[in-house]
Chain A
């Protein structure tokens, strides 16, 4: 419950405050969000499996977003930014889907 409230509060805050994303950060925002989604699905799955741990969740969330953005940043510097971000999206997408499948199995037993 508290998680859902946190998420809603965050969205409302973001919509109300409309924080301007600095230009140099804009290319990395979408990839950071995909990484954050991955961490959130991992957290939900862990919770359903009864092994949730706050520290692991917080650390995995922060490190996921920062590392994903850093990888893309590094790719941009090397001239392979779009390829690397494709790679990151593919890997995170696979993880998100497998986590979502696990969540589905736990919730619906199917």
Chain B
């Protein structure tokens, strides 16, 4: 009864015809074995033809629809990207205006001047302002792939790649060596920026980077280089370079410009001066991040 057993035994898989023939023979009806006649067969075959043609037409019809939807989506992505770029520019303009107005307003009093200086120091610390100056440029890149590499096991092909951990170690080493500001491929790092991997890409501040990875650290180049040479990060990256052929080199630069990171989000604020409640403690100073 089982399909495979029937198949291997070479038996008829559809016993209906044999049974009908046997029935006819038993009843003595004259069999018309090899004549395909009658409207039933014709109707069924016309139906089968229509089915096949309809299915084929359906497939053909859905192809251009899919292509059209794809190109429409691509167009929409482009439009939205342009829009968001324009909005980004507007935000930057408005932010510059705000900065200017704030500076002007704060410049009117001694207290304001003091607040402005504090603000400038904090802005530098959280990378909210562009920075420029001499520094050190470290370049990391995946090991060059040999032509036959793709055929090899994926694990081996992955060995020479730069991982998020390598960048993290490098950045931490540079901070430890006294860098005042760091950017990776032109993306400024803030104290809360995450360097991590998603799939094959390394994300900095949730934006994907492509190799080579250029890490620019501001600070006195000689002091930075002295403090960084021989540090744990330097040793680790040097070992990776020797072992897997990853690119790792350092050079000094006289003048590097780092952009500001995205504006810090205000997460918590209170009015700086409120009338203290009669018996309660004085209102807290506004906290800013």
Residues on A lying within 8 angstroms of B by beta carbon are 1-3, 5-15, 17-19, 21, 26, 29-30, 32-33, 36, 40, 42-43, 46-47, 49-62, 65, 91, 94-95, 98-99
Establish whether residues A10 and B16, one from each chain, have CB atoms under 8 Å apart when the complex forms.
no
How many Å lie between the Cα of A51 and that of B55 in the bound state? 31
Establish whether residues B44 and A26, one from each chain, have CB atoms under 8 Å apart when the complex forms.
no
Establish whether residues A14 and B36, one from each chain, have CB atoms under 8 Å apart when the complex forms.
no
Residue in A closest to B13 when the chains form the complex, CB atoms: A95
Q: Mostly helix, strand, loop or mixed at chain B's interface?
A: helix
Determine which of B18, B34, B44, B46 lies in contact with A62 in the assembled complex, contact meaning CB atoms within 8 Å: B44
Establish whether residues B51 and A32, one from each chain, have CB atoms under 8 Å apart when the complex forms.
yes
Q: Which A residues are CB-close (under 8 A) to B58?
A: 21, 26, 29
Establish whether residues A6 and B55, one from each chain, have CB atoms under 8 Å apart when the complex forms.
no
Question: Which of A29, A36, A52, A60 has most chain B Cβ within 10 Å?
Answer: A52
Residue in A closest to B59 when the chains form the complex, CB atoms: A30
Known: A14-B52, A33-B52. A60 touches B14 (CB 8 A): yes
Establish whether residues B13 and A98, one from each chain, have CB atoms under 8 Å apart when the complex forms.
yes
Q: Which B residues are CB-close (under 8 A) to A94?
A: 3, 7
> Shortest beta-carbon distance, B69 to chain A, in Å?
16
User: A14-B50, A94-B7 are known contacts; what are 17 more A-B pairs with Cβ within 8 Å?
Assistant: A1-B36, A7-B45, A7-B46, A9-B46, A10-B52, A13-B53, A14-B57, A21-B58, A47-B33, A47-B36, A49-B17, A50-B33, A52-B17, A52-B36, A53-B17, A54-B37, A99-B14
Establish whether residues B57 and A18, one from each chain, have CB atoms under 8 Å apart when the complex forms.
yes
Say yes or no for B40: interface residue by CB 8 A criterion. Answer: yes
Q: Which A residues are CB-close (under 8 A) to B17?
A: 42, 46, 49, 51-53, 56
Establish whether residues A14 and B53, one from each chain, have CB atoms under 8 Å apart when the complex forms.
yes
Size class of the contact patch on chain B:
20 to 34
Q: How many A-B residue pairs have CB under 8 A?
A: 137
Q: Mostly helix, strand, loop or mixed at chain A's interface?
A: helix
Residue in B closest to A42 when the chains form the complex, CB atoms: B14
Establish whether residues A14 and B16, one from each chain, have CB atoms under 8 Å apart when the complex forms.
no
Say yes or no for B47: interface residue by CB 8 A criterion. Answer: yes
> Shortest beta-carbon distance, B138 to chain A, in Å?
51
Establish whether residues A6 and B57, one from each chain, have CB atoms under 8 Å apart when the complex forms.
no
Say yes or no for B21: interface residue by CB 8 A criterion. Answer: yes
Determine which of A13, A47, A65 lies in contact with B46 in the assembled complex, contact meaning CB atoms within 8 Å: A13
Q: Which A residues are CB-close (under 8 A) to B13?
A: 42, 95, 98-99
> Shortest beta-carbon distance, B8 to chain A, in Å?
10
Say yes or no for B87: interface residue by CB 8 A criterion. Answer: no
Establish whether residues B38 and A54, one from each chain, have CB atoms under 8 Å apart when the complex forms.
yes
Residue in A closest to B50 when the chains form the complex, CB atoms: A14
Q: Which B residues are CB-close (under 8 A) to A49?
A: 17
> Shortest beta-carbon distance, B202 to chain A, in Å?
36
> Shortest beta-carbon distance, A33 to chain B, in Å?
5
> Shortest beta-carbon distance, B266 to chain A, in Å?
47
Establish whether residues B45 and A91, one from each chain, have CB atoms under 8 Å apart when the complex forms.
no
How many Å lie between the Cα of A29 and that of B47 in the bound state? 13
Say yes or no for B48: interface residue by CB 8 A criterion. Answer: yes
Establish whether residues A10 and B50, one from each chain, have CB atoms under 8 Å apart when the complex forms.
yes
Say yes or no for B227: interface residue by CB 8 A criterion. Answer: no
Determine which of B20, B36, B50, B51 lies in contact with A2 in the assembled complex, contact meaning CB atoms within 8 Å: B36
How many Å lie between the Cα of A99 and that of B47 in the bound state? 21
